[in-house]
Amino acid sequence: MKLNVDGLLVYFPYDYIYPEQFSYMLELKHALDAKGHCLLEMPSGTGKTTTLLSLIVAYMKAHPYELTKLVYCSRTVPEIEKVMEELRKLMDYYEKEMGVEQNILGLALSSRKNLCIHPSVSKEREGKVVDGRCYSLTASFVRSRHAGDDSVPICNFYEGFDAHGKEFPLPPGVYNLDDLKDYGQTKGWCPYFLARYTITHANIVVYSYHYLLDPKIAEVVSKEITKTSVVVFDEAHNIDNVCIDSMSVKITKRLLDKCSNSIQILETTITKMKDNDSKRLRREYERLVEGLRDASVARETDMALVNPVLPSEILEEAVPGSIRNAEHFVAFIRRVVEYIKTRLRVQHVVQESPAGFLRDIHTKVCIDRKPLRFTAERLASLIRTLEISDLTDFSPLVTISHFATLVATYTKGFTIIIEPFEDRAPTVSNPILYFSCLDSSIAIKPVFNRFQTVVITSGTLSPLDMYPKILDFHPVIMSSFTMTLARPCILPMIVSKGNDQVAMSSRFESREDSAVIRNYGNLLVEVAAAVPDGIVCFFTSYLYLETVVSSWYDQGIIDQLQRHKLLFIETQDAAETSLALVNYIKACDNGRGAVLLSVARGKVSEGIDFDHHLGRAVLMFGIPYVYTQSRILRARLEYLRDNFQIRENDFLTFDAMRHAAQCLGRCMRGKTDYGIMILGDKRFSRADKRSKLPKWIQEHLKDTLCNLSTEECIQIAKRWLRQMAQPFSREDQLGISLLTLEQLQSEEMQKKIQQQAQAM
Amino acid sequence: MDDQTCPKCKTTKYRNPAMVLMVNACGHALCESCVELLFAKGSGSCPECKIPLRRNNFRVQLFEDAGVDKEVDIRKRILKEFNKRQEDFPTLREYNDYLEQVETIIFNLVYDIDTTNTNKLIDNYKKENKDIIQRNKNRQSQEEMELEELLESEKIQQKEKAELYVNAELEEKKQKHKAREKLIDELMFSDADAKSIVASHVQATAAIAKDQSKLIASGPPAPAVVKSNKFSSGVQIGLRGSQSSFLPIPKQEDLPLYSYTATVFDYNGPTPPAIEMLGQLNYFANIRAASAAERAGGYTEALSCCRALQEAMGGLFYCPQSSHKTTVAMVAEEVDDMEIT
């Protein structure tokens, strides 16, 4: 279908289009025209990806100089693959319509673990090990050693790429990870480096958030992307947490013990090198004296260690004299490690600012701020000089060096928290030092400054106005789209009391109350009796899940439940959970029906879709507030309050509601799908919580569906299910929630869409 | 820390949780009871390296690695003497070289490399840089000062904000309570329709909530005096540190505003023509005209001509009745002036 979006010819690879897709395109086009950032919320299952891709590709074709590149950031590998599939469909459509090959190159990039084709390295399962082994085969010094001595192993694929790959660019087309691997196999080139090299001239790049947000990686991978690019963050409802994680460091006792070992290795290597090849050390030393940046760093394979701070913060200065000499530096880092060890030997929780830490480290072990800032860079230089090819041993030391550099660079927006034990087990000594970033805008700021358009989109971004505040940017467009539906296929309900009129709530005071737990149990049993196939329940935490399940067992609720459906439980163990999931799906598929008990913020709530019969009902037991006693959270709340004028309660509610919405959204993956959403907490019906749900859920949450008791809820659900069970064909949707080209162009529809756009 | 062992009596931290390890200048650890036993006389030799030690110098081992304790000890001692700052060097390069030299000295002392020469070096340095050492002793480095400032401002800010928010919250609670009481009162005593009363109450509370959030959003109502001890140019205000100390600027009282009044000159002679009139009076006929380059700087021939006329006519009617001394002084001044111009 060829569309006219505000004067732009857009090729859309399907015969039908949803009205909200069209208005999404309109808004997106306005943002691109204005060269500004935008924030768009559209329900999951309405074809966000294909809408985004078709509009941006059309825009690139129409304005080849104003918009040169699309960088599409997604969260997981399966999501990246999905995007590539949509892109392929779009390109096929272009080809069919225009009859000529398209000159557009789209590719996916992932870690070495997913792209390696080296026969033995690719067998490794852990990402870090793959990276380390790759480095040991492709580092420039290993290759130069190989030139003199054939017994030194190298990677033939990388050699192939290095010899020929750069001259012959990848032919236009769409390459997902497997395509890249196949291409690499046939040519004998390393797909990973090929992809990284190709990023600079590809039109569409699809990769993970971290390649752009984490300064450790962004510097290496995304350095040469031009300003005239549009960056899309899909599924971005957790983007602030990603930003924060990329700048935070966690140091445990074990890590420090391992550090001591790595320092030993460094020391012995230095002495060995001094005996054999003192020239190299000498050369490095001289270079540092001159204050020159390492010219040979340009070798792409060597950049296994990089500076953790943002490019704008890196000091363009010579390394200070006190850590110039290799031996001095080793003594220096040993002092840092020993100092942190003493800091970890605390009996009570300590919280201090980076400034306080710097002053303390100065008085205790005489370390100034400047050398501390250069730690990461100096360590990288030393490891390169020593030609250490196995980097896996050094990862603890690298962590420490990152910590040192960060703490000396940033004095604002960070905090240091030292906890001698975990809150849950106060008798077991397990000291941990958290260097925590409090300000999510720090990491994302360079992205906003660098690119002309940044699109933040997800199925659940409500309340929209919170994101510009916490990420500190000014969007030109901020819109939330609802889902036009031919039938009311979602049924949100707020159940606030049981049949015995006892209020249901996961409030701290009533959490342990057996009446509340029993009411939750009864609700689940009744829902299980009324709803076919799969039911997913979300609890607020693993701890709460466990206590509730054990009381249900005592109260006989589990037995009642198992009369209707099988029961599966998510645990903290990933393997166990995936096994439970497989069996849950099996039980749903063969009609037995199943109940999955899982946890908001857990693995199930974040990445797994329960479409159609896998999730006919979602139950939310309580409001998923984050654990508020955590000191990191407290510090962050205070920071937000002081610097962004966001009140603690507002942020907590925002965070809880976005996770609740994320959980509820699990059961709706398209317009033919239908599902019940039950919010089991009386606090949900308050205006401040209700108004924070996404618009597409709020729309269906009428006043008559709030404040129900279990009985009423079941009645409504039964009636609704009977309605939904009627056959539903495409013809029912056509003209309302699904449009052909003619329908879209009809004036009536255009007017409606205009109105919708204005309303926002 | 559980695997700490005293090398002398082999006590471990595990068996005796009260055990405390001590170190002395040589960097070898001993447990407290061994120290008491071996150094009962106040001095003795280290059981490992046989170096004579004093008991007073034993202190609690701070770090897991006793070597680091020793190093830090030496470092502190050396840095007391080697306390030059970056400001004392003309270039960064020289400063870095100096830093490395210090590091080498410390390294040598810690690992007992070439001790005699190193000690000689230190003594030389001490002699040569006596005054700098003395001066820097009382001086904080720029960096330290920055940190101190940061810490202080953090403290102040925290306090202010905390107070502000506590107050705001209290205020809000009070407001809510008041509104509720008002509603109940109204419902009890008013004759109006209960529904309309409730509706108006809802509106009122919503308005209040909005105000509140705005208030919070607009930040502290009256930003409490921000204590800044820096000018925008980064120059320190006040006497912190011993930066070449300025006298405190004398406080000026509120004086009436200055207004300009043209000065009246007493030439003591015939009045010279005004500068604008010179051209008309044809004074420029015999003067070299100012070149283009001179004009660019703002010079015109009228200026020097006017000056010459003033000098020529000034003081012609002067009678030397006043004291001779002052005139001499004035003449001398004039000569000075002329030399300068």
The full 3-state SS of B176-214, as one line of letters, equals: HHHHHHHHHHHHHHCCCCHHHHHHHHHHHHHHHHHHHHH
A window 389-428, beta carbon within 8 A of B: 411
Residue B299 has what pLDDT?
87
User: How many angstroms away from the CA of B306 is the closest CA of chain A?
Assistant: 57
The answer on A595 and A559 residing in a single domain is yes
Strands A8-11 and A2-5: antiparallel
**Coil/strand/helix, residue B98:** helix
Angstrom CA distances, A589 to A19, A577, A671, A718, stand at: 32, 18, 20, 22
Domain boundary among A454, A476, A498: A476
A335 part of contact set with chain B, CB < 8 Å: yes
Residue A493 has what pLDDT?
95
The pLDDT tens digits of the residues spanning A109-154 come to 998 888 999 988 888 888 888 888 888 888 888 888 888 888 888 8
DSSP state of B278: T
Q: Which residue blocks in chain B are alpha helix, DSSP H?
A: 32-38, 66-81, 92-110, 115-128, 130-137, 142-189, 194-217, 292-296, 301-313, 324-340
Interatomic CA distance for residues A402 and A510, integer angstroms: 44
Q: Quick check: is A160 in a domain?
A: yes
User: How many angstroms away from the CA of A261 is the closest CA of chain B?
Assistant: 13
Interatomic CA distance for residues A338 and B69, integer angstroms: 9
User: How many angstroms away from the CA of A140 is the closest CA of chain B?
Assistant: 30
With 0-12 / 13-18 / 19 or more C-beta atoms within 10 angstroms meaning exposed / middle / buried, residue A608 is buried
- Where does the pLDDT of residue A757 fall: very low under 50, low under 70, confident under 90, or very high at 90 and above? low
Contact A564, A505 (CB under 8 A): no
The answer on A696 and A627 residing in a single domain is yes
Contact B267, B310 (CB under 8 A): yes
Residue A291 has what pLDDT?
64
Interatomic CA distance for residues B43 and B56, integer angstroms: 8
DSSP state of A458: E
For residues B140 and A416, the model is more confident at A416
pLDDT for residue A511 is more than 50: yes
Residues in chain B: 341
- Judged by CB atoms closer than 8 Å, whether chains meet at B143 and A328 is answered as no
Residue B89 has what pLDDT?
86
Contact B143, A369 (CB under 8 A): yes
Interatomic CA distance for residues A135 and A726, integer angstroms: 59
Amino acid of residue B331: V
A642 part of contact set with chain B, CB < 8 Å: yes
- Judged by CB atoms closer than 8 Å, whether chains meet at B96 and A641 is answered as no
The answer on A103 and A52 residing in a single domain is yes
**Coil/strand/helix, residue A692:** coil
Which of B59, B60, B68 best tests the A interface by mutation, with the highest count of A CBs <10 A?
B68
User: How many angstroms away from the CA of B23 is the closest CA of chain A?
Assistant: 16
State how many domains chain A has. 3
The answer on A255 and A356 residing in a single domain is yes
- Judged by CB atoms closer than 8 Å, whether chains meet at B143 and A370 is answered as yes
Q: Is B200 left (phi over 0), alpha (psi -120 to 50) or beta?
A: alpha
User: How many angstroms away from the CA of B214 is the closest CA of chain A?
Assistant: 10
Residue B154 CB neighbours (<10 A) = 16
Q: Which of A322, A342, A345 sits opposite B100 (nearest CB)?
A: A322
Question: Which range in A352-366, A524-538, A607-621 is most confidently predicted, on average pLDDT?
Answer: A524-538
The pLDDT tens digits of the residues spanning A631-685 come to 899 999 989 988 888 888 889 999 999 999 999 988 888 888 899 999 999 999 9
Q: What is the CA radius of gyration of chain A?
A: 28
What sign does the CA torsion over A419, A424, A430, A433 have? negative
Contact A33, A230 (CB under 8 A): no
The answer on A528 and A578 residing in a single domain is yes
Q: Is A429 left (phi over 0), alpha (psi -120 to 50) or beta?
A: beta
Q: Quick check: is A740 in a domain?
A: no
Q: Which of B65, B76, B216 sits opposite A338 (nearest CB)?
A: B65
Tokens of A169: 């660019």
Interatomic CA distance for residues A371 and B210, integer angstroms: 50
User: How many angstroms away from the CA of A291 is the closest CA of chain B?
Assistant: 9
Mean pLDDT value across residues A479-495: 89
The answer on A451 and A423 residing in a single domain is no
Interatomic CA distance for residues A457 and B45, integer angstroms: 72
Residue B243 has what pLDDT?
45
Interatomic CA distance for residues B274 and A353, integer angstroms: 70
Contacts of B75 in chain A (CB under 8 A): 365-366
Contact A599, A539 (CB under 8 A): yes
pLDDT for residue B2 is more than 50: yes
pTM of the model: 0.81
pLDDT for residue B325 is more than 60: no
Contacts of A368 (CB under 8 A, 6+ apart): A320, A322, A362, B143
A123 part of contact set with chain B, CB < 8 Å: no
Q: What are the extents of the domains in chain B?
A: 1-61, 153-217, 275-313
Q: Quick check: is A23 in a domain?
A: no
User: How many angstroms away from the CA of A629 is the closest CA of chain B?
Assistant: 18
| DSSP assignment of A536-605 | EEEES-HHHHHHHHHHHHHHTHHHHHHHHSEEEE--S-HHHHHHHHHHHHHHHHTT--EEEEEETTSHHH
Q: What is the CA radius of gyration of chain B?
A: 41
Domain boundary among A452, A476, A500: A476
The answer on A320 and A221 residing in a single domain is no
Interatomic CA distance for residues A329 and B104, integer angstroms: 11
The answer on A455 and A432 residing in a single domain is no
What sign does the CA torsion over A665, A52, A451, A314 have? positive
- Judged by CB atoms closer than 8 Å, whether chains meet at A366 and B79 is answered as yes
Tokens 């034993």 sit at which residue?
A: B58
Q: What is the CATH number of the domain that holds A78?
A: 3.40.50.300
Residue B335 has what pLDDT?
47
Q: Quick check: is A614 in a domain?
A: yes
Q: Quick check: is A738 in a domain?
A: no
Contacts of A101 (CB under 8 A, 6+ apart): A95, A172
Tokens 């450790």 sit at which residue?
A: A216
Q: Which residues of A127-162 are buried (b: 16+ CB within 10 A; e: fewer)?
A: eeebbbbbbbbbbbbbbeeeeeeeeeebbebbbbbb
Residue in A376, A374, A356 with CA at minimum distance from that of residue A364: A356
Q: Which of A60-64, A586-590, B256-260 has the lowest mean pLDDT?
A: B256-260
Interatomic CA distance for residues A394 and A342, integer angstroms: 21
- Judged by CB atoms closer than 8 Å, whether chains meet at B157 and A642 is answered as yes
Q: Which of A322, A341, A645 sits opposite B63 (nearest CB)?
A: A341
Contacts of A515 (CB under 8 A, 6+ apart): A498, A500, A502
Question: Which range in A570-574, A617-621, B67-71 is most confidently predicted, on average pLDDT?
Answer: A617-621
Q: Quick check: is A189 in a domain?
A: yes
Contacts of A328 in chain B (CB under 8 A): 100, 103-104, 107
The answer on A157 and A51 residing in a single domain is yes
The pLDDT tens digits of the residues spanning B85-142 come to 888 888 888 888 888 888 888 888 888 888 888 889 888 888 888 888 888 877 767 7
pLDDT for residue B341 is more than 60: no
- Judged by CB atoms closer than 8 Å, whether chains meet at A366 and B143 is answered as no
- Judged by CB atoms closer than 8 Å, whether chains meet at B71 and A353 is answered as no
Residue in A289, A292, A290 with CA at minimum distance from that of residue A323: A289
Options 3.20.20.140, 3.30.40.10, 3.10.20.600, 3.10.20.30; which CATH number does B1-61 get?
3.30.40.10
Tokens of A373: 């800032």
The answer on A253 and A230 residing in a single domain is no
What sign does the CA torsion over A740, A743, A745, A749 have? negative
Contacts of B68 in chain A (CB under 8 A): 334-335, 338, 365
Interatomic CA distance for residues B203 and B195, integer angstroms: 12
The domain of A539 spans 490-728
pLDDT for residue A306 is more than 90: no
Angstrom CA distances, B257 to A510, B250, B252, B254, B260, stand at: 71, 18, 13, 9, 10
